[in-house]
Structure 1
Amino acid sequence: MSRESDCREDVRLLKKYADELERSVDNVQSLCGTDTWKGPKSERFRKEWSGHRKQIKDAVANARAEIDKALKRVEREEEDKKKTGTGN
């Protein structure tokens, strides 16, 4: 496998894990509603969860952007190698 192929596989897996994390966050969000859980502890959790949810979503979005940047960098480096005729 080439470095670019390895990177593409890593990117595929990272995006899959990011999707799974986002689905999990959305599932928690739907399960912690007032219809599901009532009382002072539930209110405290929802308040705290709101901040955590935003942090997780922001982190996933930032990770996705960095993943795309890394793949583009590897693609450029591999293309430059082909142009200059340098090996692996």
Structure 2
Amino acid sequence: MANTTSAKKATRKIEKRTEVNKARRSRMRTFLRKVEEAIASGDKTAAATALKAAQPEIMRAAQKGIVHKNTASRKVSRLAHRVGALAS
């Protein structure tokens, strides 16, 4: 347990930041799930629309440090590939 005033403040800041990060991660995962569901249903237009909405969310999460930049790029790339494959 923190004893010093600065350590107590740091603990409070960490708790607040953790809540914000949880919310951002959850939001990103929700957008990812919407794309996955659209792909599973086989609806190309819905999947493309969901991907278009999800891509900025994923990249924003990377910018905020929720996920690594390369991880975000990989997720977007793989989803785009799967959405593109729906046409064929």
Q: With the length of structure 2 as denominator, give the TM-score of the two structures.
A: 0.48
Asked which structure has the greater CA Rg, the reply is: 1
More RCO (CA 8 Å, sep 6+): 1
Q: With the length of structure 1 as denominator, give the TM-score of the two structures.
A: 0.48
